[in-house]
Amino acid sequence: MAIDIEAEVSKSGSASIAQAYPNIALIKYWGKRDAALHLPTTSSVSMTLDVCPTTTSVALQAAGDTSDTVLFDGRPAPTAFVNRVVRFLDVVRDYAGSRLYCRVESTNSIPTGAGLASSAAGFAALATAAVDAFGLQMTSSELSRLARRGSGSAARSIFAGFAIWHGGDGGTDRSSFAEELLWRDLDMAMVLVGVNVGAKTISSSEAMAHTVATSSLYWPWVEQSRKDLAEILVAGHNADLDEVGRIAERNALGMHATMLGADPAVRYMSPDTLIVLDHVQELRSRGVSAYVTMDAGPNVKIICPSGDRETVADSIRERRSDWWCETALPGPGAAVLDPIGGRL
């Protein structure tokens, strides 16, 4: 597409602001069939949360500017983060047929890099704001495909409530996007337990590549995950929380088993993680429908009925007041905000 410089310059200056929420996978994304395009080996399913959003603004810079500026929580972002954002903005510029650089400001209300889904909310918000800033028209599936290019799991944070990210076929970008799952009757909450919210030592991207390359447990998990997906779609549709929880728990523990089977092993779980796992088993033995899921970090998310979320959270807080603990319900999809913060 030819670039109209005058139109480009007139676009510069005003910032587009977007907000997106983290999502937690019930059927995990673990392993890529194409690392550059973030095409996953398997399809995954998640719940978008109603807490801890990321808010991101993107302003197109004047035509003479020579680089992107990236601020994170009001300060210049670390180089690795800037490089990731610039790579993503290059994808958006390609879509837009534009060469304009951007000023990006992002504020995150979830601990970053601790396996609490900060990159999902971050890239969903960035994609939504950037598309608006460049004046692109996209359907939600196209936006989901674009967000995926920043971080795979971001494809799911475009949507409210529950979402399925279709893994897609072969090496094509077009077939891999998320869509909303209408599990309206499923009464589900999550209790987020941060036993250690410091940044993790090995990124999810690195850990998944290493697991795929070296773990003999990886492909059996992929096979099981396909069965888990088919079963959870039925359970979610039937609003069967216990079945959803059971499937999600075995899928997550299976994913961690693939990492333990890697050479050398990747172990995100800490002694405190195991304390939470035991705690949830105790809750279950007392008749509470509580199940765990975990991502690339030591922290645990407890799945339970919405009416039990405060009791479950209080039981965690009583156990350890030094852990970070927050309750969440199904939350909204990514949206552009007006200048005073309303969702458009």
For ligand PMV, the binding residues (CB under 6 A) are 25, 28-30, 44, 119-120, 151-153, 204-205, 295-296
Any long-range contacts for 69-77 (C-beta under 8 Å, 24+ apart)? Answer: 69/101, 69/102, 69/103, 69/104, 70/104, 70/106, 71/103, 71/104, 71/105, 71/106, 72/105, 72/106, 72/107, 72/108, 73/106, 73/107, 73/108, 74/105, 74/107, 77/106
Q: Select 27 or 58, whichever has its Cβ closest to ligand PMV.
A: 27
Q: Select 152 or 168, whichever has its Cβ closest to ligand PMV.
A: 152
Q: How far is the CB of 183 from ligand PMV (least distance, A)?
A: 17
With both helix axes pointing from N to C terminus, report the angle between 218-237 and 241-260 in degrees, rounded to the nearest 10.
170
Determine the Cα–Cα distance for residues 126 and 295; give it in Å rounded to an integer.
22
Q: How far is the CB of 87 from ligand PMV (least distance, A)?
A: 14
Let me know: does 117 contact 23? Beta carbons within 8 Å: yes
Q: How far is the CB of 275 from ligand PMV (least distance, A)?
A: 21
Q: Select 123 or 134, whichever has its Cβ closest to ligand PMV.
A: 123
SS3 343: strand
Q: How far is the CB of 297 from ligand PMV (least distance, A)?
A: 8
Q: How far is the CB of 45 from ligand PMV (least distance, A)?
A: 9
Concatenate the DSSP letters of all residues of 288-309 into one string. ---EEEE-SSS-EEEEE-GGGH
Q: Select 61 or 205, whichever has its Cβ closest to ligand PMV.
A: 205
Q: Select 10 or 83, whichever has its Cβ closest to ligand PMV.
A: 83
Q: Select 69 or 270, whichever has its Cβ closest to ligand PMV.
A: 270
Q: How far is the CB of 205 from ligand PMV (least distance, A)?
A: 5
Determine the Cα–Cα distance for residues 41 and 168; give it in Å rounded to an integer.
9
